[in-house]
Structure 1
Amino acid sequence: MSVGDDNERTFAALPPEGGRGFAHTWWGRTWLKALEDTALDSGQLKKGRRHAREGAVGAVSVRPGRITAVVRDRDGTGQRADVLLQEFDEAAWDRFLDMAVDRAGHIAALLDREMPPVLVEDAAAAGLELLPGIGDLEPECTCGAWDLCPHTAALCYQVARLLDQDPFVLLLMRGRGERRLLDELQARSMARASGDTPDEAEPASEGVRADEAFAAGGILPPLPAPPPLPDEPGQPPSLDTETEPPPGIDPGALEFLAADTARRAHRMLAEAITPGHQGQAVEGELTSDQDLVRLASSAPAGVIASRLASATGRQRAELNLAVRAWRSGGPAALSVFDEEWTPEPADLARATTMLEEAWEEPDRPRLRVSGPGRWAVPGSGAQLRLGRDGRWWPYRKESGRWAPAGPADHDPAAALAGVLEQA
């Protein structure tokens, strides 16, 4: 139950809520999605859900642009929590009213305490986002948190229950109370029925010709310097939500992929702003198998790593070796691990000469050919592989398999030194 005038409604504290979900309507769930997508710390969300379930949220006051409640911690301490949502201006409400009057079903749905998707879609077509998206909910709390805290999260979870019951709560947050909104809709409907229409709007400006705008570019001030590169990638949104994932969707795998994307974006940005970057060669696109090995190189042990192994078609032990190769030199190292290639006669002769000249007698190790472009040191468990780019890659015999043993070097003696030392 709510009390108050048309510009503010106060809802009595709701009883503790059992079960899993706070929202049952699609618009209530969208409200919670905006909350959960915005949160930087999933732990704060969990605490907020617990507060809301335990009935720690007091009476909720809803006003244009703001919702407020006192939320009590388990020790009885109360904190005033506010969540701000941007109001629509007069021009935006004019567009909303015109859109609603055009389709009488919209008004009927609101009176039935419903918010059909087509209403939200028509509003979006008019440039109005009724439901909040990521970053639209701005928290404030007397606990001093600069971001979402358990108190503001609990308030949002409680408001989702109110929205389920009455979508006019959302419209009040956007700036129009129920009575005023219905009065304006009725007045506009009657005016349209009688043939009275507002004055024609002034024609829009014709704008500036493209060639004129381009010609003026030389007199415009320079763009500001780009902001500094963050020290580390941003945190992807948490997928620890009230909504069960669809069948076949693994939230843990999605969070891993999102974090990987953030890391790659951070690296690409760092490279892009490095002086001389424009003169660097463009990296080739990875194959599907190469990208799976790359992902496995940063995947935590467990289900995700097992799925990546299955996707590559490799046995787990072989994938572990492929990951070691990737970490030692990326795609080039993985190619040396996976492929046997036969150098051209001239390349083979040049490689043989390099091997003979790399060590002085009597320190030169005895090498024998162990495959195309591969030389092993008998009795040492060490091997050199020649890459297509002319670099030498060290390998070591482990459990009967040749395993990558380090980065490449243009000098075969330097590449092999570490392996021989450990033999």
Structure 2
Amino acid sequence: MAWYKDMYPSMSVEELKAKAQRSLADAERSGGHLTPVTVTSRTICRSWWGKAWCRNMETYLDYTNRLPRGRSYVRNGAVIDLSIREGKAEALVQGSEWRPYKVTILVDPLPRERMEKISRLCSRELDSMEELIAGHFPKSLESLLTERGTLFPTPGEIEFYCTCPDSAHMCKHVAAAMYGIGVRLDENPFYFFIFRGIDVERLVKKTLDSRVESMLSHGDVKNDRIIDDKEVENLFHLK
């Protein structure tokens, strides 16, 4: 859009950083408490959770032209505030105007049938489940839980809103906030469970219940490692 480009010309990195710092200082003077997103490494995200979130977002092919600008914005401190709660993330992203833009990201809760599927997958790998709850990601579950439409949201399960004049569904400010969510997942993977409305205690309980049911269903199956009563008598010379 020529109108958009003329009215809001591109900024240098130095200008963007200066405006972001000024907005942070203004918020502090007025008694506000902002939680900026800080990228501390060459890659935006370092953990499995953060990288997986960003990779999933980058499969939203309709928005690939906004992603490079979003990466530049988050790397240079433009996401000056980001909060995550169940089903909703809100951010302030500095742009060309004096005041930062407000970004809202809404995500659907994980559907019950998908939760059931994840529980069944995890029940086969109790050790992996412990890793998952500890904030790590078990390699044994990676291909299962990153399959499209399993754990991470599809384009149809997420909505974006920004107060900037760009008519694109995902503008660069939204893209920056989305990468910012990945950084937050580096800091605490449980933000993901909160965001998608996943009850971790319920997930653990369902996983354990599924495992117990599986064990009970095989309770009468003969196993070479299980000795019967006659073998016990012979082993201990019982009469």
Asked whether the two chains share a fold, i.e. TM above 0.5, the reply is: yes
Partner Cα distance (2:206, 2:63) in 1: 47
Which one of the candidate residues 154, 175, 185 is aligned to 2:204? 185
Return the structure number with greater relative CO, CA threshold 8 A, min gap 6: 2
Correspondence for 2:161: 140
Deviations 1:57-116 (A, max 9, x none): 233232343322121225432222123333222232233223323321232112331123
Structure (1 or 2) with the larger CA radius of gyration = 1
1:165 CA drift (Å): 3.2
Given the superposition, is the C-alpha separation of residues 143 and 133 from structure 1 closer, same or farther in structure 2, using an over 3 Å criterion? same
- Segments of structure 2 that go 5 or more residues without pairing to the other structure are 1-32, 217-239
Partner Cα distance (1:12, 1:186) in 2: 36
CA contact (8 A) 2:93 2:102 kept: yes
1:154 CA drift (Å): 0.9
1:146 CA drift (Å): 3.5
Q: For 1:30, give the aligned amino acid.
A: A
Quote the sequence identity (%).
22
Q: Give me the TM-score of the superposition, normalised by structure 1.
A: 0.37
Taking the TM superposition and a 5 Å limit, the aligned residue runs for 1:20-31 are 20-31=42-53
Q: For 2:35, give the aligned amino acid.
A: A
- Segments of structure 1 that go 5 or more residues without pairing to the other structure are 1-10, 198-423
Whether 2:131 is the aligned partner of 1:112: answer: no
CA contact (8 A) 1:81 1:152 kept: yes
Taking the TM superposition and a 5 Å limit, the aligned residue runs for 1:186-225 are 186=205, 189=208, 193=212
Q: For 1:142, give the aligned amino acid.
A: T
CA contact (8 A) 1:113 1:165 kept: no
Partner Cα distance (2:143, 2:68) in 1: 31
Given the superposition, is the C-alpha separation of residues 91 and 55 from structure 1 closer, same or farther in structure 2, using an over 3 Å criterion? same
Taking the TM superposition and a 5 Å limit, the aligned residue runs for 1:266-277 are none
1:192 CA drift (Å): 5.8
Whether 2:79 is the aligned partner of 1:57: answer: yes
RMSD: 3.6
Aligned length: 183
Taking the TM superposition and a 5 Å limit, the aligned residue runs for 1:141-180 are 141-144=162-165, 145-176=167-198, 180=199
Deviations 1:259-308 (A, max 9, x none): xxxxxxxxxxxxxxxxxxxxxxxxxxxxxxxxxxxxxxxxxxxxxxxxxx
CA contact (8 A) 1:56 1:71 kept: yes
Q: Give me the TM-score of the superposition, normalised by structure 2.
A: 0.60
Deviations 1:181-235 (A, max 9, x none): 12552366268649999xxxxxxxxxxxxxxxxxxxxxxxxxxxxxxxxxxxxxx
CA contact (8 A) 1:139 1:148 kept: yes
CA contact (8 A) 1:39 1:148 kept: no
Partner Cα distance (1:129, 1:185) in 2: 17
1:160 CA drift (Å): 1.1
Partner Cα distance (2:41, 2:109) in 1: 33
